[in-house]
Amino acid sequence: MNIFLPPPYNILYARRLHKTVRRLVPDSDVRFLLSESGSGKGAALVTAVAYRLAEQHRQIEETLEEFQLSKEQLLEVKKRMRIEMEAGLRKKTHQSAKVKMLPTFVRSTPDGSENGDFLALDLGGTNFRVLLVKIRSGKRRMVEMHNKIYAIPVDVMQGTGEELFDHIVHCISDFLDYMGIKGARLPMGFTFSFPCVQTSLDAGMLLTWTKGFKATDCEGEDVVLLLREGIKRREEFELDVVAVVNDTVGTMMTCAYEDPNCEIGLIVGTGSNACYMEETKNIEMVEGDKGRMCVNMEWGAFGDNGCLDEIRTVYDKAVDELSLNSGKQRYEKMISGMYLGEIVRNILIDFTKRGFLFRGHISEALKTRSIFETKFLSQIESDRLALLQVRVILQQLGLDGTCDDSIIVKQVCGAVSKRAAQLCGAGMAAVVDKIRENRGLDHLDITVGVDGTLYKLHPHFSKIMHQTVKDLAPKCDVTFLLSEDGSGKGAALITAVACRLREAEQS
Ligand code: ADP
Ligand code: MG
């Protein structure tokens, strides 16, 4: 560093100063420069720098203000979610509705009498897994799980549907060998976390891939049929595929097994989605008007008709345009793990271009898509983390900055994740209030089963979301219950409930 010495200079004094400073900080390279008329020019410079910083500060605040939603705006989001929900439920509007409100044919949550051994398949999360789930009822009531994780190479994920399902069946085969249960013909639940139109518990037509999947010849097809055909092609083992399950529904069922008040499922992980128990009479796409059925909202697509455009920023639009499914899943892209880091990166690029960050230099790292993963938001926003550690995280990403840069980055992360949590809360407020009105209640006590790494690991997301639901739906007391492996255990529970009902019907 440089230290400027103002006149008049005393040589002896200066020498002593140099020596002392070097002894005090031997690791630093300090040079002493003589300045001319420091006090006059310096004061002017300090003032100019202060002005520039204040102006920068103002512009940063102004940009981040776009991410701060007022209570009125959040209530409007809640209201529009409710409108979209109604549109999805009505026959007349279902076709064009963006929030699809898909019937799942799950009509009951577990009652504890479920029993048996079940297979589950979990596709659509970060990991593809095959599971064996042993459920015991009565006094020895328990759930025991064994699972194995398999990789799905990107070329399979984005290859042909037949390749994808051959790969899946290959993994099942490996798992059955591994567990020594190949001859058993067990009932299976297939957790398939993509939007499907279901006509029964065991039929689901894929509407559209999301979250990075792109295999051909699958959209418009029944994925249970694709799985059964894959099993047939292999001619090696048989399975009884009983249910196709959305991960939100699995999450709800897993939590309902512990808490009968749980009638909502929520995911905030790679993507975001929710399901809840709706009155069958309100689901016009399904015959009958007795009882309730779980509806997979597919709420990630909220806003795809433009109804959220007023609150979407240029950064949201940039993230959307660079994604695999541009124009789709607009709400999800403002909330979930696959996108929050990208929103932050786009803001950082803009701030750098405007000279507020990284000395105006856009590094290769900053240009790299997905470099800023959402887990870094969690780290950077952690209250226990000192600013210096934020700087280290950024350096590890290849983003060399000053401490001032770190402050700004932390501010950006906070703004993006807070908005995500509030938007998610506004959606949830719409759901709980609808359930309350469905039941004609002044007050509703209800539990939401939640899964997803962003919800679980972000230091503030859950708290902000809970508070938002409280503020926007004051007539509901909402408990949030973390689900333990909703997509694995839940699929098995749905299969178990279905088998129980089937047996009851046959006897
Ligand atoms: P999925 O939703 O695919 O089933 P997860 O619930 O595990 O899987 O969510 C994975 C997502 O969570 C990733 O997209 C990632 O962005 C995000 N994530 C991973 N680690 C963290 C973390 N520490 N904090 C916040 N988000 C995280
Ligand atoms: Mg998951």
Burial class (CB in 10 A: 0-12, 13-18, 19+), 274: buried
pLDDT value at 132 more than 70? yes
Q: What pTM does this model have?
A: 0.87
- Residue nearest (by alpha carbon) to ligand 1 atom 24: 375
User: H or E stretch including 91?
Assistant: helix 91-94
SS3 481: strand
Q: Are 262 and 481 in contact (CB under 8 A)?
A: yes
- Residue nearest (by alpha carbon) to ligand 1 atom 21: 375
Regarding the beta carbon of 340 and ligand 1, being less than 6 Å apart is answered no
Confidence band, pLDDT 50/70/90 cuts, at residue 333: very high
Task: Give the pair of three-digit tokens for residue 503.
Answer: 């047996």
CA of 452 to the centre of ligand 2 (A): 6
Most confident option among 154-158, 413-417, 483-487:
413-417
- Kindly state the DSSP code that residue 397 receives in the 8-state scheme: T
- Probe ligand 1: pick from 248, 374, 418, max atoms within 8 Å of CB? 374
- Probe ligand 1: pick from 268, 453, 461, 462, max atoms within 8 Å of CB? 453
Q: What is the dihedral of CA 10, 13, 15, 19, to 10 degrees?
A: -160
What pLDDT digit, counting tens, does each position of 223-258 carry? Answer: 999 999 999 999 999 999 999 999 999 999 999 999
| Active site residues per annotation | 129, 193, 247
Instruction: Give residue 376's Cα distance to chain centre.
Output: 14
- Kindly state the DSSP code that residue 9 receives in the 8-state scheme: P
Task: Give the pair of three-digit tokens for residue 431.
Answer: 């759901």
Cis-peptide into 8, omega within 30 deg: yes
Confidence band, pLDDT 50/70/90 cuts, at residue 18: low
Q: Are 486 and 451 in contact (CB under 8 A)?
A: yes
Residues in the chain: 507
- Hey, what amino acid is at 243? A
For residue 149, the model assigns a pLDDT of: 96
Atom of ligand 1 at shortest range from CA of 487: 4
- Residue nearest (by alpha carbon) to ligand 1 atom 23: 375
Q: In the beta sheet, which residues pair with residue 120?
A: 131, 189
pLDDT value at 25 more than 80? no
Only one residue has tokens 């202060």, namely 50
Cβ partners under 8 Å of residue 106, min gap 6 = 201, 249, 253, 293, 294, 494, 497
- Residue nearest (by alpha carbon) to ligand 1 atom 19: 375
Dist. CA 89–CA 70, nearest whole Å: 29
CA of 381 to the centre of ligand 1 (A): 16
Give the closest ligand to the alpha carbon of residue 338.
Answer: 1
Q: Region 452-464: what's the mean pLDDT?
A: 97
Closest residue by Cα to residue 272 from 243, 245, 296, 307: 296
Dist. CA 100–CA 244, nearest whole Å: 17
Closest residue by Cα to residue 427 from 348, 334, 490: 334
For residue 7, the model assigns a pLDDT of: 56
Regarding the beta carbon of 282 and ligand 1, being less than 6 Å apart is answered no
- Residue nearest (by alpha carbon) to ligand 1 atom 7: 453
Closest residue by Cα to residue 424 from 448, 442, 403, 445: 448
pLDDT value at 27 more than 60? no
Only one residue has tokens 């509901």, namely 476
Task: Give the pair of three-digit tokens for residue 162.
Answer: 């037949």
70-100+259-482 CATH, one of 3.40.50.2000, 2.170.190.11, 3.40.367.20, 3.30.1540.10 = 3.40.367.20
Q: Region 201-205: what's the mean pLDDT?
A: 95
- Residue nearest (by alpha carbon) to ligand 1 atom 20: 375
CB count within 10 Å of CB 411 equals: 14
- Hey, what amino acid is at 244? V
Q: Region 307-312: what's the mean pLDDT?
A: 97
What topology does CATH give the domain 104-255+485-506?
Answer: Nucleotidyltransferase; domain 5 (3.30.420)
- Please indicate whether residue 21 or residue 336 has the higher confidence score (pLDDT): 336
Regarding the beta carbon of 344 and ligand 1, being less than 6 Å apart is answered no
pLDDT value at 1 more than 60? no
CA of 451 to the centre of ligand 2 (A): 7
Regarding the beta carbon of 328 and ligand 1, being less than 6 Å apart is answered no
Confidence band, pLDDT 50/70/90 cuts, at residue 265: very high
Closest residue by Cα to residue 189 from 486, 481, 505: 486
Percentage above 90 pLDDT, the chain: 77
Q: Region 64-88: what's the mean pLDDT?
A: 98
CA of 85 to the centre of ligand 2 (A): 23
Regarding the beta carbon of 378 and ligand 1, being less than 6 Å apart is answered yes
Regarding the beta carbon of 458 and ligand 1, being less than 6 Å apart is answered yes
CA of 221 to the centre of ligand 2 (A): 23
Q: Are 133 and 121 in contact (CB under 8 A)?
A: no
Q: Region 166-186: what's the mean pLDDT?
A: 95
Percentage above 70 pLDDT, the chain: 92
Regarding the beta carbon of 374 and ligand 1, being less than 6 Å apart is answered yes
CA of 257 to the centre of ligand 2 (A): 18
pLDDT value at 11 more than 70? no
Regarding the beta carbon of 453 and ligand 1, being less than 6 Å apart is answered yes
Give the closest ligand to the alpha carbon of residue 340.
Answer: 1
Regarding the beta carbon of 459 and ligand 1, being less than 6 Å apart is answered no
Q: Where are the domains of the chain?
A: 1-42, 70-100+259-482, 104-255+485-506
pLDDT value at 38 more than 90? no
Mean of all residue pLDDT scores within the chain:
91
Dist. CA 82–CA 99, nearest whole Å: 10
Task: Give the pair of three-digit tokens for residue 44.
Answer: 């002017």
What pLDDT digit, counting tens, does each position of 426-438 carry? Answer: 999 999 999 999 9
